[in-house]
Structure 1
Amino acid sequence: MLLRLLFVMLWASAAIAAKLGLYSSPPLTLATIRFIAAGMILFAFVYVLNRRYAWPSRAEWIPLILLGLLNTTIYLGLSFWAFTTVSAGIFNLFVTVNPFIVALLSHIFLHRKILGREWTGMGLSAIGLSIATFPSLMESSATLPGLAAVAIGMIAMASGSVYFKKKDLQLPGIVINTWQVLLGGILLMPFTVWFEFDQGVRLDMYFWGSLIWLVAAVSIGAMLLWFRLLKQDPVKANNWLFATPIMGYLLAAIFLHETITPFDGIGTVLVIIGLISSGNVTLRKLAPASKSSGG
């Protein structure tokens, strides 16, 4: 339970850090630097300092490349680019689509039965997020290319979640994340050069603060937690994405001094009810006497 909440907090903080970083850097440039830096740090830890992890086998390289392409290059690359034209409210609303896509793909490719309570929980959470993001939707200046980028990114992430579960790679999470981030950054590099080669970067506090947080807390910390949750159940892991926009509102209020509206409060209640209804959170786990710490 505590690990899931930590993941939600770290995952939600990425949008705020990215928004701040875009004050000083083009989106794909910031994303590429983030992925390459995180990948190199992980590589140094796994294969230089530690040396107890084996290199992937020949059969494991293709799955690692595909995970890097889906989860890093496409999903995160398009998300960074979309932040320049799509509001946080619109982006957060699209996040709710992810569990539905994962559930459908898991049913088709993994033959996982989707329980009625899971559909009910996801529906309640989606309604809650719709209410919470309503003010942002009304004031949105999103463009069609930006919305398409977010939609494609969400489909890529859901596909990566199901593919990861299906392949069941017998590699430690830190090794998978190392190659996913590093390979994803390398695959994104040609697009960055093509679209942003003539755009400069200001090396100020916004750039360095955003980069350090995105690398250490999100690319390394959050993704390691993400793989651990996915190994347990991809549908339930993705359902926790329902809570990230609500956490995002709280973090934005603290660090960006944004106002939390009644819509946010109503949405938060519905999201919690949805998580409980879907079986992701039980009253026993929420009880103070419980010692369960989750996955």
Structure 2
Amino acid sequence: MKTLFKQGRYIITGVIFAILWSSASIATKWGLEASQPFVLAIVRFVIAGTIMVFLTHVIFRHRLPSGKEWRQLFIYGVLNIGVYLGLYVLAMQHVSAGLGSLFPATSPVFVSIISAIVYQQKIKRETILSLGLCLIGIMIASYPLLLKSYASTIGLMLLLLSMLSYSFGSVYFSRKYWADLHILTINGWQTILGGVLLLPLMLFYYDTTLNEFNTKFLGAVIWLAIIVSIGAVQLWLYLIKEDAIRSSFWLFLCPIFGFIMAWLFMNEPINVFTILGVSLVILGLYTVQRKNFSNK
């Protein structure tokens, strides 16, 4: 009975994670209707980072980073927050919410390729095949959106660059020694330090006429900062802790939920190109993870 309950809890957690993670693109689109990109990003990072730092040091009494850990946190924050989410929020001005949820789901493929390059390993045929499937799938899903002005070439390029930065950040994180530094401490400080990178850009481009701090902006920020940056990330950490291999399965659902929610809340089209493109991306994700699933 306990095993059945544990499996049910794991499945429910996975579904909730996929929904919340996919919702980030929609919340970002709503936030951009009321503010400039860097304003939305900075406020999100400040709220999320402050809450996590408060929880980890004041409530849970985890230690502060020390020595070279600060440098590692800054580099990780620049890659994983400043560049990745900075480019992402810029891209979301030019692409649909559905595409905004499709690109992040491909991260395991890019991480596999970058890891092979960094560790000077031969890139496997399965990895090259999975990359090809994902890229073709993205192009097919993007084609009708480009024709109907739901996406632009610059937006797709910014999304691709953001995913490369995120993937480099993931590899960097895995290569560094973090001792007993708690994951909540790492997430809190890397969010704040990464956000520092965007602060000068926000101040330079700030235009009072382009920012309305209304309920739409407030709702988007709270959702992105608390529900996504804190809630969804903690769910993901739980899934990894329970089963690091099976956890990848939930990434397969993210583009599906992303396009469905974009259709429901943003009136974005779903057609045969969407279904075929998402299917190829999921096939590409499965290809790069197939060996792990087989071993499991």
Task: Indicate the TM-score class for this superposition, using the shorter chain for normalisation.
Answer: 0.7 to 0.9
5 Å matches for 1:34-113?
Answer: 34-51=44-61, 53-88=62-97, 91=100, 95=104, 98-111=107-120
C-alpha distance 230-126 of structure 1, shift in aligned 2 (>3 A) = farther
Counterpart residue number, 1:265: 275
**1:139, 1:56 → 2: CA distance?**
49
TM-score, with structure 2 as normaliser: 0.79
Name the stretch that deviates more: 224-233 or 16-25.
224-233
**1:217, 1:128 → 2: CA distance?**
29
**1:233, 1:182 → 2: CA distance?**
29
User: Amino acid of the residue matched to residue 48 of structure 2?
Assistant: A
TM-score, with structure 1 as normaliser: 0.79
C-alpha distance 237-192 of structure 1, shift in aligned 2 (>3 A) = farther
**1:222, 1:30 → 2: CA distance?**
19
C-alpha distance 245-168 of structure 1, shift in aligned 2 (>3 A) = farther
Name the stretch that deviates more: 116-125 or 75-84.
116-125
Counterpart residue number, 1:24: 34
Question: How far off its partner does 1:96 sit?
Answer: 6.9
8 Å Cα contact 1:99/1:122 also seen in 2: no
Counterpart residue number, 1:202: 212
**2:92, 2:197 → 1: CA distance?**
20
Counterpart residue number, 1:277: 287
1:255 pairs with one of 256, 265, 271: 265
* Local SS of the residue matching 1:24: coil
User: Amino acid of the residue matched to residue 217 of structure 1?
Assistant: I
- Deviation by residue 1:183-225 (Cα, 9 ceiling, x = unmatched): 1222221210111154453232211211111011211123345
- The answer to whether the aligner puts 1:175 opposite 2:185 as a matched pair is yes
User: Amino acid of the residue matched to residue 277 of structure 2?
Assistant: G
- Deviation by residue 1:142-194 (Cα, 9 ceiling, x = unmatched): 66765554343222111101101111423222111101111122222121011
User: Amino acid of the residue matched to residue 18 of structure 1?
Assistant: T
Question: How far off its partner does 1:48 sit?
Answer: 1.5
8 Å Cα contact 1:246/1:264 also seen in 2: no
8 Å Cα contact 2:146/2:152 also seen in 1: no
| Percent of matched pairs sharing the same residue | 38
C-alpha distance 156-279 of structure 1, shift in aligned 2 (>3 A) = closer
Name the stretch that deviates more: 128-137 or 275-284.
275-284
Counterpart residue number, 2:18: 8
8 Å Cα contact 2:29/2:97 also seen in 1: no
Question: How far off its partner does 1:129 sit?
Answer: 3.4
Q: How many residues align?
A: 284
Counterpart residue number, 1:155: 164
C-alpha distance 112-237 of structure 1, shift in aligned 2 (>3 A) = farther
In the alignment, structure 2 segments of 5+ residues that lack a partner are: 1-9
Name the stretch that deviates more: 228-237 or 170-179.
228-237
Name the stretch that deviates more: 118-127 or 251-260.
118-127
Name the stretch that deviates more: 193-202 or 16-25.
193-202
8 Å Cα contact 1:82/1:149 also seen in 2: yes
Question: How far off its partner does 1:253 sit?
Answer: 2.2
8 Å Cα contact 2:106/2:281 also seen in 1: no
Counterpart residue number, 1:120: 129
